[in-house]
Amino acid sequence: MEYKEFLEKKAQLGEAQGFEPIWIPDFLFDFQHALVEWAIRKGRAAIFADCGLGKTPMQLVWAENVVRKTNQPVLILTPLAVSQQTVREAAKFSIDCRRSAGTIEPGAHIVVTNYEKLSHFNRTDFGGVVCDESSAIKSFDGVRRAEVTEFMRHVPYRLLCTATAAPNDYIELGTASEALGEMGQVDMLTRFFVNDNNTIDMKGAMGKRKPGWRFKGHAEDAFWKWICSWARACRRPSDLGFEDKAFILPLLTEQDHVVKARTLAPGTLFDLPATNFWEEREERRRTITERCEMAASLVAKTNRPAVIWCHLNPEGDLLEKIIPDGRQVSGQDSDESKEDAFESFVNGSLRVLIIKPKIGAFGLNWEHCSHVVSFASHSYEQYYQAVRRCWRFRQMRPVIVDLISAEGEQGIKDNLRRKADAADRMFTALVGHMNKSMRLDRGVNYNTKVRTPKWL
């Protein structure tokens, strides 16, 4: 690679700047109006808004403004099945939005496609790009993640939207920053953090992120101020200074169900709590039948829609077998089959959906369902996103979450609750810094001429 080519690859498109909003429709709520106006003026921005706060209409209005500014279409990238949902939302608001797998119809304003289809598009055809559920980018393999970042790098206007439970994954924030052209991921980490592992390697044993990154002594406040320069976050409208009104969540009831293994671990006389990853995995596999039977009994007690979140293929296979009106969505299914299952669940022809969080936990709206069954997992983000498919604003009924675990998995549940507390504290800190930043920005006219000293 030539040095000039190397520099060009690392460079960001410097002329990409925001502009004054051209079209702000009346159907946006007041807090949505404020977020969209800010994102349009920013030009390259991120909106971290909780589930049900209307990220889809916000990104559609943002995209329509970019279309009118540039006279070029805008590409919206979504997880699988969310693209069809986006098209339905656009039709509801009379916004031109067309789904595509690689072609742009003449006259199209907004084109929506799955992340997996990105390679079929040419970035020069678009004036802007939106990454919906952008937190899912970090779960892509390195090639696809680099493809998304590279595609966005030279598009003038960019928007990231996600409902991440809390921005406490610093590597994810670095990915977002790099995609927006603010700061590279490694640059961000080395500027604000110390690595106790003394390496910039992002992966550790078994593909897990190493826990070595921690704030430098003076850097935490500066870090969040920097994040607030290109991102806005809210869990509810009141985080932005608006009234919550219709955005008050219904009651959520979480119920623990502990099953006892029918067989003992090899070489043991009685069950002991799992103390490491390998023991947890062994107990999880040894109790597949017991946990699946518990899940089946829970969804059989009602005649209402239910979603069961599992993590292993044998769990999904067994659940589909013992639940007569259940259907599994697995990784080996075709995209068309997955979308058919999602549509069937939404329209009511399928009562019980069986799925893994990594397949369907991002972006889908299932307000018609108020019963969630989940097997225990260390991933707080997956658990949070899975629950929030149903427990979201516009949900009209109380939501019940049944969390099923084996006796030896108590440590997993304790870890999940610890992460939940940490995430809440982190998001509270971000909102505090964001509001402080917004107060400083209010009333400032950046076009005012000032007199500078002669020596400047």
Q: Is residue 454 part of a domain?
A: no
Q: Please indicate, yes or no, whether residues 288 and 241 belong to a single structural domain of this protein.
A: no
In which domain, by residue range, is 68 found?
8-182+229-245
Q: Roughly what angle, to the nearest 10 degrees, separates helices 142-153 and 170-180? A: 40
User: Which is it for the CA torsion 144, 150, 153, 155, positive or negative?
Assistant: negative
Q: Is residue 107 part of a domain?
A: yes
Q: Which two tokens stand for residue 217?
A: 């002594």
> Looking at 155-164, 405-414, 433-442, which range is the least confident one?
433-442
pLDDT digits (tens, 9 = 90+) for 292-327: 999 999 999 888 999 999 999 999 999 999 999 999
3-state secondary structure of 53: coil
- pTM of the predicted structure, to 2 decimals: 0.82
Task: Return mean pLDDT, the chain.
Answer: 83
Q: Averaging pLDDT over each range in 93-102, 195-204, 290-299, which range is the top one?
A: 290-299
The reported pLDDT for the residue numbered 391 is 93
Confidence grade of residue 407 (pLDDT, cut at 50, 70, 90): confident
3-state secondary structure of 297: helix
Q: What's the rounded mean pLDDT across residues 34-62? A: 93
Q: What's the rounded mean pLDDT across residues 90-106? A: 90
For the chain, give the percent of residues with pLDDT over 90.
Answer: 41
317: domain CATH number is 3.40.50.300
Q: Which two tokens stand for residue 311?
A: 């993590």
Q: Is residue 333 part of a domain?
A: yes
The reported pLDDT for the residue numbered 267 is 65
Q: Please indicate, yes or no, whether residues 57 and 173 belong to a single structural domain of this protein.
A: yes
Confidence grade of residue 435 (pLDDT, cut at 50, 70, 90): confident
Q: Which two tokens stand for residue 243?
A: 């009234």
Residue 277: which H helix or E strand, with range?
Answer: helix 277-286
∠ at Cα 256 (250, 261), nearest 5°?
A: 155
Closest CA to 295 of 354, 365, 210: 354
Q: Please indicate, yes or no, whether residues 151 and 15 belong to a single structural domain of this protein.
A: yes
pLDDT digits (tens, 9 = 90+) for 223-235: 888 888 898 988 8
Q: Please indicate, yes or no, whether residues 145 and 270 belong to a single structural domain of this protein.
A: no
The reported pLDDT for the residue numbered 142 is 64
